[in-house]
Structure 1
Amino acid sequence: MHVQKMEITLRAMTRIYASADFTIVASDGNDADHGLRGVGGPSKNRIPSPQSYSHLWSAYPEDSKWASRGWTFQESLFSRRLIFGSAVSWMCGRCEWREGIHMLRCTEDIHTTEENEWPAERPHLGVPMGMMSLIPTIPSLGRWGMLLENFSSRHLTYEKDARAAFAGATEIMNATFPEGILYGMPKFFFDIALLWLPKDFVLRREGEPSWSCMGWKDGVIDCLSAWYPFYANIFRDSNHSSDWVPIATLRSVAEYRMADTADGIDAGFNGFYEYQAFRDSSCRQLPTGWRRHRHPNGDYFTNILSSRKYSFPLPGVSSAKRQIHTPSAPVLHCFAPCATLTFGCTVTCDKTHRMMMVLCNGEEMVGNLTLMCNIKENIPPHGSLCELIAILAAETSLPERVAQRGWPIMSFGKDRKLLSSTARSDEGGVSFYNVMWIQWVGNIAERRGLGIVHKEFWDALEPEPREIILG
C-alpha cells in the first residue's frame, strides 16, 4: 500500500507545484539536505551591495546541482513562479529579478503582443512556464520531445527512480495522446517516437526497455531533430511551408503489441497513419473542427482551437483522465521484416560525438547506422554481421533539404553518397527503410543502434518477417 500511495503522490506533484503561488527553491547546496539560508538556524550578517547591469542577468541557476538533478525537473517545470538562492531571485512567466541588481532590461527579450499576455515558453527549458495552464488541446509531439530531451540531461542517484521522477510529466501529458504514453513513448506516434537518437555516448539504464529513450542514461537524447523529417509540426512556427510539409512520408511495416495483450495486433499503436492519409485524400470529410488550406508547396490544415498550421489533422485531446498503463514487463512483441548486413567503416560527427557505421552488402554500401555508444572497444569489427529489423518505410523527394537540415542519420560524412543520384528513383525521390540494429540477451532483442537502408537494397535481401520480443 505504501508503494501505491507513493506513486499517487508522485503523479500529483505537478498539481501541487502548479497550485502554489510560488515555489521556494533551495538551489545553493549539493543535496536535498542543504536547506535555505536563515531557516532552521542563525544566518550570517548580510551586506547589501546594489549593482546595475545593462544586460539580462538570468535568475535561473543553470550551473547548480539543483538544475541537473532528475528529481527537481518537475519542480522547475510546473511551478508558476520560482524564488531561488542565498540572494532572492524571482522567476515567473513574465520576467526575472535578482536581489541587489537593478535590471535595466526585463521584458525586452520576452515577446508579448498584449500587456496581459504571458509568453508561451520559458527560455531555459523551451517548455511552458506553469505548464498546467497550458496543456495542449491537440496532441503535441514537439512538446513531449522537449520534456524528454531536458529530462535526459539530468542525473539520478538511483537509476531505478527514473520513471518515478518523470511521473508527473507523464501523468499530465498522458491524457493529451490517444492511447497514452508507454515507457516515455506516445503510442499514437509510436513509429516516429522510435526514431530518437543519442546526441552523445549513452549507457543502458537497468529495468527500462532499450527501445525507449527512458532505457538509456548519462547522455542527452535527441528527439526533436530526429523526429522532424517525418513530422513537420515539431518546432515553433516560422510561417514557412517547412512548418507543415514533412521531408519524408511514412509507411508502416512493423506491428506491435504489449506483452500482456492477447495475440494479434494492438490497435493502440500508430494511430497517426489514419490521420496522415488525409493529406493525399482531398475528398474525405475532415474531423470536426479542421479545415484544409491549399498551398503551392503542399496543403496545410488548421483547427478552430489553434492558430498553428498542421501537416494533417489530429484528434482532439480528451477531457477524461486516462489511466497510465504500464505492462508487467518492459517488452514488446514486434512483427517486422528481418535481415542481416555487415558492418563497414566508421563515420564520426565532430558536432555531436555520435558514432556511425556504414552498412554493407558485400563490398557495396547500402546504408548507415548510429550506434548507442562511441567507446572504441564496443565498435563492431569491420565485416562482422549486423542483425536488423525494419521499423518503418519512408520516401523523400527533398534529399537536398535533408542535408541542409542536418538530419543526423543521413546528412554528413561518407553517407552523403546515399543521397546521390544513383540512389534515387525515376521520379527523383529516395526510398529507404528505418532499421534497428538488435542484439540478443537470451530470447530478448535489445536495441543497439538505428539507421537507414535504401529500399532497393533491403528488398533485394528478401527480408523474413518474424515475431521478435523487444526489451
Structure 2
Amino acid sequence: METRYIALSYVWGNTETLQTIKSNLMHLKKPRSIHANLGSLKIGNTIKDALRLVSLLGERYLWVDCLCIVQDDLDTKQVYLNAMGSIYANAYFTIVAADGHNADHGLRGLGQGSRDRAIRLHLAARNPTWPDLGSWGEMVEEFNKRKLTFDKDVIDAFAGITSAFNNHFSGGILWGIPEIFFDHCMVWKPKDVLRRRRAYNHALSEDTLPSWSWVAWEGDVVPVGAPLILVDHPKLDAQSINIQPLAQWYKSKEPMSPLHPVENIGLSLQLNLNKSQSEQLSTGWTQGQYSDGTYYYTHETVPTVRFRYPIPLANENASALQQFNENGRYLHFKSQRARLSLGRELTDDLFNLTNCAGCLVDSEGNWAGTIRINASRFDSLPKGQSCELIALSLATAVNSGDYLGILDEWKLPERPRDTELYQFYYVMWIEWERGIAYRKAVGTVYKPVWENQVREDLDVILG
C-alpha cells in the first residue's frame, strides 16, 4: 500500500528558510526534529502553515521541496526535479500557495489574523492522460507571472510542471513549448510589458535563454497564441485557428551543432483527419459519428472525451526520456522575409492590456495587419519604423467566429470581411546579431497583402 502524502506548491523568493543539506540530513531524519524546534528554526511561514494544515486535516505527511530534497546533492536534486510532476500528480492533494512572492507569505486564513481570506486549495486530481493545451496554457500563465530570485532558475523552477506533462506531449517540451503543437505555441504573445530574463553565459558572451520562447520573458503571456481545440464538435467552437505550417523546424544546441528535427506532428494528425478510417485506427481508438455525419474519436483510457481526431496520448515510459529539452536553443528553418512599417496604435478598452498593439502598413500606408510589441507606449518606437518580418505559418479563421481577444485586428474596420474565411500569416519581427536572428514581436498579416509584398527566401537561425 502506498503512503499517502500532501504536497506543497509555493514560491521560495528571497526568504531564508531551512533547507535539507548533507550536513543536517541525519539530524532532520530524527522523529520530531522539526516539530520540537518549530519556533526556533528558520522555516518560512508558508511551510509552517502547511505543516499545521496537514495536522488539522488529520494527515501525517507533507512533501515540500526545500526539506525533502537534499539541496547540495546535485545529482539527487536533478533526479527529484525531473520527477516533480509525478510527485505532485501522485499526492493525495496539493496545497497551492497562490498568493505571495516568497516562502514567508504564509497561508492566509491559518494565521492569527487575516481571517477574511480563504486558503486556496487545489484538490489536485490526476493529470489528464492527453495533451490538454488548455491546462498547459493555464499553468504557463500562472508560472510566468511569478518573480524568480535568479533568472537562470527558470528552467529548474518549471521542471516540475514540465515533468508532469512530458509524457502527455509526443516529442516532449522544447524550452517550454510542446513540440507536438510547435507552430501553435511559437506565436505566443504578451499581455503585459515583459522583462527579458537574463541567464548569461560569460564564457560565450551571450544569453542562454532563447528569445523565441516565453521562458526568456517574465510576465503575463498567452502561451498558445493560435488556439487549437482538440475535443468536442467542431461546430461548437468559434475560436479555433487552423494553421498550415510553412517551416520544417530543426533545433541545435549551438548555431553550428548537428540539427535535429522538431517533432511537431500535431498538425499532420489534423491534416489527416479526413483520411482516418476506423479500420486504420491505432489500438484503443474508436470512431463515432454525430447526427450530422461529423466523425469523432474516443480512446479507451478516456472514454468520455470525444476527440476531433486521434492524437498521441500519455506514454508511461516516456517521462524518463523526455525531460526538459535544453539542447535545442537555436531553431533552423527556411522562411520568406518582407518589410512592413508600424502604423497607428490600437486602443484596448476591453481587455486592459498594458502592452501595445499596433497596425502594420505597407509602403503606401495601407493596412496590412497587426503586431503586439513589448512596450507600454506605442510612441516609444519611431513612427513609421520599418519592421523586418519573417513568415511562420499560414492561418485561417472563420469570419463568422468570435476571435475578440485572440486576433487584435478582429474588430478593426480595415479588416476584410467579404469572404467566409479570413486568411493571414503569422509573422515574427526579428533583429540580427552576429548572423543570428532574435525575436522582437509576433503579429499577423492579411494573406493577400503579404503575398503582394516583395519577398525573399531566407535561411534563418533563430536564437
TM-score by length of 1: 0.69
Query: Aligned partners of 2:10 and 2:248: how far apart in 1?
Result: 47
Q: Distance in 2 between matches of 1:463 and 1:449?
A: 19
Which residues of structure 2 form unaligned runs of 5+?
20-33, 42-56, 58-63, 65-70, 72-80, 98-102, 199-207
Report how many residues are paired.
Answer: 381
1:367 equivalent in alignment to 2:364? no
**Residue equivalent to 1:223:** 223
Corresponding residue to 1:294 among 286, 290, 298? 290
Q: 1:212 to 1:391 in 2, by over 3 A?
A: same
Decide whether aligned partners of structure 1 residues 402 and 336 sit closer, same or farther in structure 2, where only a CA change above 3 A counts: farther
Question: Does 1:308 find its partner at 2:305?
Answer: yes
Which amino acid is the alignment partner of residue 157 of structure 2?
A
State the secondary structure of the residue aligned to 1:418: coil
Instruction: Between 298-307 and 258-267, report the one with greater CA deviation.
Output: 258-267
Aligned to 2:348: 349
Contact 1:245 1:311 in 2 (8 A): no
Q: Which residue of 2 aligns with 1:255?
A: 248
Q: Aligned equivalents of 1:263 and 1:162: distance in 2?
A: 24
The alignment yields a C-alpha RMSD, in angstroms, of 4.1
Look up the match of 1:110.
Answer: none
Q: CA deviation at 1:435?
A: 0.8
> SS at the partner of 2:406?
coil
Report the counterpart of residue 399 of structure 1 in structure 2: 399
Q: Provide the C-alpha distance between the structure 2 equivalents of 1:202 and 1:388, rounded to a whole number of angstroms.
A: 21
AA paired with 2:414?
K
- Give the distance between the partners of 1:340 and 1:29, measured in 2 at CA: 43
CA distance in 1, matches of 2:288, 2:132: 19
Give secondary structure in 2 for the equivalent of 1:138. coil
Offset from partner CA, 1:401-431 (integer Å, 9 cap, x none): 234x43243334xx3522432xx3xxx2111
Cα distance in 1 for partners of 2:94, 2:375 equals 38
The normalised TM-score by structure 2 is 0.70
Question: Partners in 1 of 2:343 and 2:3 — Cα distance?
Answer: 55
Deviation per residue, 1:257-277 (Å, 9 max, x gap): 112599998544320122102
Name the counterpart of 2:5. 21
- Aligned CA distance change for structure 1 residues 437 and 37 (closer, same or farther; 3 Å): farther
Structure 2: distance between partners of 1:287 and 1:371: 44
What is the DSSP-based 3-state SS (H/G/I as helix, E as strand, rest coil) of the residue aligned with 2:401?
helix
Task: Kindly provide the CA deviation profile for residues 421-453 of structure 1, in whole angstroms up to 9, marking residues without a partner as x.
Answer: 2xx3xxx21111111111112222111111111
Residue 124 and residue 189 in structure 1: after superposition, are their counterparts in 2 closer, same or farther (change >3 A)? Answer: farther
- Equivalent residue number for residue 358 of structure 1: 359
Aligned residue in 2 for 1:459: 451
| Aligned pairs for 1:90-105 within 5 A | none
Taking the aligned partners of 1:387 and 1:88, their CA distance within structure 2 comes to 48
8 Å Cα contact 1:83/1:89 also seen in 2: no
- Deviations along 1:192-246, one digit per CA (max 9) or x if unpaired, are 01121111110211231111110101x211125x332xx113xxx8x77566676
- Confirm or deny: 8 A CA contact 1:170 1:184 kept in the other structure: yes
The residue number in structure 2 matching 1:13 is none
Residue by residue, what CA displacement relative to the aligned partner does 1:338-396 show, whole Å, maximum 9, x if unpaired? 1111111111324222311211112211111111332457x432222111111111122
Q: Which residue of 1 aligns with 2:52?
A: none
Change (3 A) 1:346 1:395: same
8 Å contact 1:254–1:337 — kept in the other structure?
no
Aligned to 1:51: none
* SS of the residue 2:438 aligns to: strand
Q: Is the 8 A contact 2:394 2:424 kept in 1?
A: yes
Q: Which residue does 2:203 correspond to in 1?
A: none
CA separation in 2, counterparts of 1:37 and 1:29?
A: 24
Give the letter for the 2:337 counterpart: C
Q: Secondary structure at the match of 1:254?
A: coil
Label 1:87 to 1:391 Cα distance change in 2 as closer, same or farther (>3 A): closer
Change (3 A) 1:292 1:274: farther
Q: Which residue of 1 aligns with 2:266?
A: 272
Residue segments in structure 1 that go unaligned for 5+ positions in a row:
1-17, 44-58, 60-65, 91-96, 107-122
Q: What is the CA-CA distance between 1:303 and the residue it aligns to?
A: 2.2
- Aligned in 2, Cα 1:87/1:188: closer, same or farther, shift over 3 Å? closer
Listed one character per residue, the Cα deviations across residues 294-324 of structure 1 (whole Å, up to 9, x for unaligned) are: 3549543322222122232201222213243
- Sort the Cα spacing of 1:456 and 1:298 in 2 relative to 1 into closer, same or farther, 3 A: farther
Amino acid in the other structure paired with 1:179: G
Change (3 A) 1:154 1:20: farther
Q: Which moved more, 1:147-156 or 1:21-30?
A: 21-30
Maintained 8 Å contact 2:356/2:378:
no
Distance 1:416 1:162, change over 3 A: farther
Q: Which residue of 2 aligns with 1:442?
A: 434
Q: Give the Cα–Cα distance (whole angstroms) in 1 for the partners of residues 9 and 301 of structure 2.
A: 35
SS of residue in 2 equivalent to 1:401: coil
Is it true that 1:317 corresponds to 2:314 in the alignment?
Answer: yes
From 229, 232, 238, the counterpart of 1:232: 229
Distance 2:193 2:4 in 1: 38
SS of residue matched to 2:449: helix
Partners of 1:323 and 1:279 lie apart in 2 by 27
Counterpart residue identity of residue 313, structure 1: P
CA–CA distance in structure 2, aligned partners of residues 32 and 466 of structure 1? 50
Look up the match of 1:420.
417
Q: Percent identity?
A: 25
Q: Which residue of 1 aligns with 2:330?
A: 331
Q: Name 2:197's counterpart in structure 1.
A: 205
SS at match of 1:156: coil
> For the residues of structure 2 that align with 1:463 and 1:290, how far apart are their CA atoms?
45
Contact kept? 1:255, 1:336, Cα under 8 Å: no
Q: Residue 389 in 1 paired to residue 381 in 2?
A: no
Inter-CA distance 32–23: structure 2 relative to 1 (3 Å threshold): farther
Distance 2:257 2:292 in 1: 45
The 2-side partners of 1:383 and 1:89 are apart by 50
Conservation of the 8 A alpha-carbon contact between 1:22 and 1:83 = no
Q: Deviations over 1:78-104 (max 9, x none)?
A: 6524498999979xxxxxx96899x9x
